[in-house]
Amino acid sequence: MRKLILALMLSIVCLGANAQTPEEAEKINKWIDTYQQLNEAKDWDAMVSKAGICKQEIPEWEYVYYYSGIAYYNLKQYDNSIMNFSIFIDKNKTEAGAYLLRGHSYSEKKDIEKAIADYNAYLLANPNDIPTMLSKANAYLNVNDLNSYVKELGMVIEKDASNVSLLENRANANANLNNWDATVTDYNKLIAINPTKVDYYNNRAYANYSLKTPESYKLAIADYNKVVEMGAGNESVYLALTSLNGAMKDAKSEIKAWDKLIELQPNNIDNVYRRGAAKYNAQDYKGAIADFDIVIKADPKHINALKRRATSKSKAGDKVGAQADAKLIKEIEG
């Protein structure tokens, strides 16, 4: 903020030359020097305290309110900042910086309607000022108006299409809005810019997963496999792959994902049960029985595993084993 304030202050150094008398011009230039020195020292309290003396010496000089507004803004006294900038703007509507900092003050108070009006006034004079466009977007973000935030970010991205931070922020906002198509589009752009960042593939995979179409499932599987290939496969990645491959009826790939997940979570018996179910669906009845054996050994009253094992034994031709499991099931269920 210091650079911004200095730029605004330096833009009015020449105003003393427009004074009506040489004496008045000398006083104005003296006060400009004083305020610039205080600004550089970040002595905001002194800027405020000297306003009374300045008004006595040059009562018609409206910029004393401008400088006071800057000081109060930096002191985070936003009501006082707004009051002084408003007095200044009533007297002088040509200094765009006053609208900008009053807009910041309104934004801090979450008075978004007035903040946006001031940002728009500033942008009329400075239409390509990207930091102010971002301030306008962030004003919406501060009140959780994500739809407006995304819209404003889009305008900035049009001017700076390769800005990774802006694309990441919009992708996150679109994800929070469940705008999954838009999220995928943003991550497509991010991956084109940086194809080595694993989080982009992970997040795009989740967005495609959330679209819940056969085509999006295929794309999600491809991205999660890319994450694994990049050495970042973890429990959540393999869990997603079990679900996606199951939905796509790819039993071999689903079982492979369960294998990896069981390696990562060796004490999670539910994973073994679910792998057994996947093997059953793939008609690997012996493999399913082996998994259900493990589950039942850990939990002899796991009714679903007993039922699945009984059916698997029946499918495998082990009628005696199936009948024995049926007896156990009857005993448990009463």
More confident residue, 105 or 10: 105
How does DSSP assign 93-132, residue by residue? Answer: S--HHHHHHHHHHHHHTT-HHHHHHHHHHHHHH-TT-HHH
C-alpha 210/C-alpha 55 separation (Å) is: 62
Residue 83 included in any domain: yes
Contacts for 215 with CB less than 8 Å, ≥ 6 apart:
none
C-alpha 166/C-alpha 158 separation (Å) is: 11
Query: Cα 276 to the chain's mean position, in Å?
Result: 39
Residue 72 included in any domain: yes
Q: Which domain holds residue 24?
A: 1-92
Q: What is the pLDDT of residue 90?
A: 97
Residue 326 included in any domain: no
Helices 235-247 + 198-211 axis angle, to 10: 30
pTM (two decimals): 0.83
Residue 79 included in any domain: yes
Residues belonging to the chain: 334
Q: Check whether 224 has a pLDDT greater than 60.
A: yes
Contacts for 275 with CB less than 8 Å, ≥ 6 apart:
255, 258, 259, 262, 291
Q: Check whether 300 has a pLDDT greater than 90.
A: yes
Residue 12 included in any domain: yes
Q: Check whether 189 has a pLDDT greater than 50.
A: yes
Residue 169 included in any domain: no
Residue 56 included in any domain: yes
Tell me the per-residue pLDDT of 62-109, one tens digit each, with 9 for 90 and over: 999 999 999 999 999 999 999 999 999 999 999 999 999 999 999 999
Q: Check whether 197 has a pLDDT greater than 80.
A: yes
Residue 64 included in any domain: yes
Degrees to nearest 5, angle at CA 185 with 180 and 189: 145
Mean pLDDT value of segment 3-14 = 41
Tell me the per-residue pLDDT of 115-158, one tens digit each, with 9 for 90 and over: 999 999 999 999 999 999 999 999 999 999 999 999 999 999 99
Report how many domains make up the chain: 1
Q: What is the pLDDT of residue 20?
A: 63
Determine contact, residues 238/261, Cβ cutoff 8 Å. Answer: yes
Q: Check whether 17 has a pLDDT greater than 80.
A: no
